[in-house]
Amino acid sequence: MGERTEQVITLSLPSSMRHVYLLRAVVTEILKEADFDEGTQERINLAAIEAGTNAIEEHGDREDPGKSTIFQLILNEDGLTINTIDEGEASTHKAPEIEQVITLSLPSSMRHVYLLDVVVTEVLKDSDFAEEIQEQINLAAIEAGTNAIKHGNKENPSKKAIMQFLLDEDKLTIIVEDEGEGFTRKEVADPLDPENLLKSSGRGLFLMEACMDSVTYEANGTIIKMVKYKT
Amino acid sequence: MQVNVRNKGSITILDIEGKIIGADALALKSIIDQQIQTLSSEAEHGENLNLIFNMERVQMMDSTGLGILVAAYTTIRRNEGRVVLLNLGGNIRSLIVMAKLMTIFDCYNTEAEAIGHFL
């Protein structure tokens, strides 16, 4: 599981106060795993929110959702370190008025899969997607993340699984990238084939495709792009 | 995710609560494997290997979790035991239907019915 290694989780958020809650949700979840008592957890959480608010407010002159604020959460046996990185002008290549990009970068360990659930749930909370659709998107994101962590990066914690969430007016796009060798979609066995029904794995891609409106495989399968439309 | 194990006669009930995803799904696998091992060693020919997975408080399950249920099913059957699923929520049921596993698992909506399966 690589407990001895340092776990670096990176969360990149548009510099807007409405995204501070996402930082809070992620920190809360990470702290559940750490050995801090409840009072300490609350204080760390407060400090994280203060740091997040500060970074966003002081980013340039004011809030600017076209820019990103990057939070680096480093968890090791000594404790949790939260670094704030000002990305400055570097991230302005996305059209800010249409899309808000949230990026989560995780060490490739199955213990971090639940963070995807946390982030997707938070991203979708204020969206127009019906609850049932939100559950489908959540499942697809978890499957894509698991695929990147387990099959792509072979659970090597020094390799990153990177997920991008782009929410715009008519759709949500999720892009998941791993550092693995890739795969060919056609060569993956059909889990609905009677001879595969009782297998204990191999349903991830099928579920992603069933839950999303489109799933495309790029860069030899190391990048998976999934889209769900609002209507 | 949390699992509470209780017994009703020769039937072992696992009350599962939370989300069966990622590492939690793997934790569930260890708990199930341990139960199967203990119950199999206690009796010959699966006499006591009667399991109910109570899914009432399961909010979500991913393919890792589903794979673990399938693996549990095949292991229990191989050991001449039986397993049923109790109280599937809408999203869990859809997942099992989508994966064409509804014909594999015996599913019940009440504990009394689930227990009746073994009598």
Ramachandran angles phi, psi of A67, nearest 5°:
-100, 165
Compute the distance between CA of residue A82 and CA of residue A44 in angstroms, rounded to an integer.
9
pLDDT value of position A95: 47
Compute the distance between CA of residue A145 and CA of residue B28 in angstroms, rounded to an integer.
20
CB A224 within 8 A of CB A208: yes
Choices 3.60.110.10, 3.20.80.10, 3.30.750.24, 3.40.50.300: CATH for B2-116 = 3.30.750.24
Q: Is A108 touching B (CB cutoff 8 A)?
A: no
Q: Using one digit for the tens of pLDDT, what is the confidence trace for A81-129?
A: 888 876 655 444 444 445 678 999 999 999 999 999 999 999 998 788 9
Compute the distance between CA of residue B43 and CA of residue B49 in angstroms, rounded to an integer.
8
What does the angle CA A80 – CA A30 – CA A23 come to, to the nearest 5 degrees?
Answer: 90
Q: Is A113 touching B (CB cutoff 8 A)?
A: yes
- List of chain A residues with pLDDT < 50: 1-3, 60-61, 90-97
Compute the distance between CA of residue A117 and CA of residue A107 in angstroms, rounded to an integer.
16
What's the longest Cα–Cα distance across chain B?
A: 37
Residue B69 has pLDDT above 70, yes or no: yes
CB A161 within 8 A of CB A152: yes
pLDDT value of position B92: 96
Q: Which pTM value belongs to this model?
A: 0.89
Residue of A117, A199, A210 with shortest CB distance to B21? A117
Residue contact B95–A199, C-beta within 8 A: no
Query: Chain-wide mean pLDDT for chain B?
Result: 94
Question: What class, spelled out in words, does domain A7-229 have in CATH?
Answer: alpha beta
